[in-house]
């Protein structure tokens, strides 16, 4: 892989590795934002537990996804891409935070691009 492509791949890898980990950890502290506000009211109403507990479970999933991007980029990038699409669709269907949904779809495309870049890498050590 040429140096420019490797640089782009590394930027994307560390972005989609570290950001989900940070966002996942923040689900336990709510320092960045109150994450429960992004749960649609109808969905929050059917949860068998408090929405903050649900967001902690989401946080664990995000931490694992970020770690996968850093360690198994070829799998982790697809998982992060799908996760971002799922979040965006949830927001679109509830018609809340549509701006965040659009941003998440753009990030999903970037994560998918990382997965494809990783797939096309000739050196198995790059994956």
Residue 108 in any domain: the answer is: yes
Residue 125 lies in a domain: no
**Helix, strand, coil in percent for the chain, rounding step 5:** 80, 0, 20
- Does residue 52 lie in a domain region? yes
The answer as to whether 66 is a domain residue is yes
Residue pLDDT, tens place only, 88-106: 999 999 998 999 999 999 9
Contact 88, 104 (CB under 8 A): yes
In a domain, 113, yes or no: yes
Q: What is the pLDDT of residue 125?
A: 52
Measured CA to CA, the distance from residue 105 to residue 83 in angstroms comes to: 10
pLDDT per position as a tens digit, 43-94 = 888 999 999 999 999 999 999 999 999 999 999 999 999 999 999 999 999 9
Residue whose entry in the numeric block shows the structure tokens 């994450």: 35
Closest CA to 119 of 79, 82, 75: 75
Is 127 domain-assigned?
Answer: no
Whether the predicted model's global pTM rises above the 0.85 cut: yes
The whole-angstrom separation of Cα 66 and Cα 76 is: 7
């Amino acid at each position: 892989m040429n140096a420019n492509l490797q640089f782009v791949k590394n930027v994307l890898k560390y972005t989609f590795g570290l950001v989900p980990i940070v966002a996942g950890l923040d689900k336990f502290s709510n320092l960045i934002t109150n994450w429960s506000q992004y749960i649609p009211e109808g969905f929050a109403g059917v949860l068998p537990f408090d929405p903050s507990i649900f967001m902690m479970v989401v946080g664990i999933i995000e931490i694992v996804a970020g770690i996968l991007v850093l360690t198994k980029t070829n799998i982790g990038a697809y998982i992060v891409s799908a996760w971002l699409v799922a979040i965006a669709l949830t927001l679109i269907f509830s018609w809340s935070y549509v701006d965040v949904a659009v941003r998440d779809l753009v990030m999903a495309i970037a994560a998918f691009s990382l997965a494809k870049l990783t797939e096309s890498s000739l050196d198995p050590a790059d994956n």
